[in-house]
Amino acid sequence: MQEVPKRNELPQQYTWNLEAIYPDETLWEADWQAVKESIPKLEGFRGTLGGSPDQLLGCLELRDETHKRTDQLVVYSRMRKDEDNGNSRYQALADRAMVLATELSSASAFIGPEILALPEEKLWGFLATESRLGLYRHHLEELLRQRPHVRSTEVEMVLAQSMEISRTPDNTYGMLTNADMKFPTIQGEGGLPVELSQARYNHLRESQDRRVRKDAFQAMHQSYQGFRNTVASSLSGSVRSDIFYSRTRSYPTALEAALEPNSIPTTVYHNLIETVNRNLSSLHRYMALRARLLGLEELHHYDLYVPMVADVKLEMPYEEAVETVEAAFAPLGEEYLSALKDGLASRWVDVYENEGKTSGAYSSGAYTTNPYVLLNYQGTLNDVFTLAHELGHSMHSYFTRKTQPYVYGDYTIFLAEVASTLNEALLTDYLLKQSVDRKLQAYLVNQQMERIRTTLFRQTMFAQFELEIHSWVESGQALTPDLLSSRYAELNARYYGSGVVPDEEIAIEWARIPHFYWAFYVYQYATGVSAATALANQILTEGEPAVQRYLHFLKSGSSDYSINLLRQAGVDMASPEPVQQALDKFDALTDQMEELTA
């Protein structure tokens, strides 16, 4: 029986180097205490920001420095907790960091309202007088643009203090699914028992043995079915939290509250859903091709992830995966590759699954730390693409933090998926060029189609579901498990069409999606793959000019509006055209797959 290893059983070289942040946790405690002592100093600026340019500058600099140190505390403690969610020491450390972060947010809450209370001519006069304030010009312009949604100092303090409570649904869901839920053991390939887990499920559903993937599908979803009321309650709490903050800040809807702060028009969201819905026949055509190539009279949801090309084994040890992604990223140039290799050698990546480890994959880090990648590597080709994807995030973070000051040292969620998905496109191009075997080429084309299916079609379906459940609550409707499951099943039937059997278990899949706790996040996977498809094509066809535009994009952080930064890189996401181009690419891949498998 394959048992999930304990954390202390993993070789060090496959774990991330968090000691680079705090080699001794007494230093974490010292930083925690330093932030605690800085909070009263920050509050001491209250009522003084209009006094002089020096007062305003001093406040902004202290705010940034204190938040910078707090980010580091939060990131370290959260990643330690993610190593083993059952470790009570790091649960407590993460809680302490979040409580401190909430206290700091509350103490900083006066800054925005107090700046907005200044006459604009006085504020711009301060910038003309004190050159060091020039650093904050775009930041202040953004603040002024948000004037209708910034509340009084007292209300902002209450909202900041409430943030800790608002995270309860997400925290509860995470502890339930990563620590408390126990999944059954199923009979794996060759009849060997396999303990089901979040990470192993992704591997098992690709099994060529249909019985294995069916058993894994049913066991996983039946496990969630047993907690349907608890998960529905936590999701409802998360949605209600989104709506509370949107209404408190005078946004008409939660969608506008999520998009408008980053100057993303809501038409981008609606255009995505409408464009994809107009092209669902492309997905239905692909489902028919999948059924034919798998030799199935009936296609079920547990048949959607198995490769359509049988007998092609592309399992890859982690070391080989690293060499492969480095070779694939060669078109991005020496500056990119050198930084990537240094990072991998410095143990940015936590590679393998262990007992209690947070499932899935992500890129994390703070302005003052290395970027870090959490994986649950199982050796499949999908895992290689996950590595490439998360390294895209990390390299974006690396170049941004290296180039921008703290105030612009991050990027918007809207931009977050562009760099990661572009890396996937480059990896696909590299692997296809390395292959001369038609069967292997078909396998790789299948993988590329699957990334578009899961990133563009599926994430858009998630986005539509998320929009609808927020709209229901905004209109006074309750999110019951029956309502959630019924609508989720209907959307699956619409997106996948009559060519896929509507398995009853799929109705509970909404309970497995942690991204629903991050308000209106998932649509950006779909817009990201659209932008990345265009940018990757430019890099591969134009060469150096496109590479330089792209590196400038990676280094820009949030120093300009997201839409503008993508335009400078070479793609206009205010138009639905990039989405349509990605969908056209999907059609072309279907043509290619039909030709390769004729």
What is the distance between the alpha carbons of residues 327 and 557, in angstroms, rounded to a whole number?
A: 26
7-166 and 171-310+456-517 have identical folds = no
Radius of gyration of the chain from Cα atoms? 24
- Residue in 390, 450, 466, 505 annotated catalytic: 390
Give the model's pLDDT for residue 1.
Answer: 57
Question: 7-166: which CATH architecture?
Answer: Up-down Bundle (1.20)
Q: What is the CA angle 335-336-339, rounded to 5? A: 85
390 included as an active-site residue: yes
> Quick one: the chain helix, strand, coil %, rounded to 5?
70, 5, 25
Residue 445 has, within 13 A of its CA and on its CB side, a CA count of: 23
- Positive or negative torsion for Cα 521, 490, 451, 274: negative
Grouping H, G, I as helix, E, B as strand and the rest as coil, residue 364 is strand
Phi-psi region of 560 (alpha: psi -120 to 50; beta: other; left: phi over 0): beta
What CATH number should be reported for the domain whose range is 171-310+456-517? Answer: 1.10.1370.20
Residue 24 exposed, middle or buried by CB count within 10 Å (0-12, 13-18, 19+): exposed
Residue ranges for the chain with pLDDT beneath 70: 1, 311
Phi, psi values for residue 528, rounded to 5°: -65, -45
Determine the Cα–Cα distance for residues 491 and 497; give it in Å rounded to an integer: 10
In 3D space, the residue among 198, 80, 244, 167 whose CA is nearest the CA of residue 518 turns out to be: 167
Q: Which residues of 349-443 form beta strands (DSSP E)? A: 349-350, 362-364, 372-374
Domain ranges of the chain: 7-166, 171-310+456-517, 318-442+526-557
Question: For residue 371, which of 331, 335, 411, 333 has the smallest C-alpha distance?
Answer: 411
Instruction: Give pLDDT, residue 283.
Output: 98
Q: Give 480-518 as a DSSP string.
A: -HHHHHHHHHHHHHHHH-TTB---GGGGGGGGG-GGGGS
Superfamily (CATH) of domain 318-442+526-557? Oligoendopeptidase f, C-terminal domain (1.10.1370.20)
Q: What is the pLDDT of residues 6-18, one digit of tens each?
A: 999 999 999 999 9
Lateral strand order in the sheet of 362-364: 349-350, 372-374, 362-364
Q: Which pLDDT score is estimated for 467?
A: 98
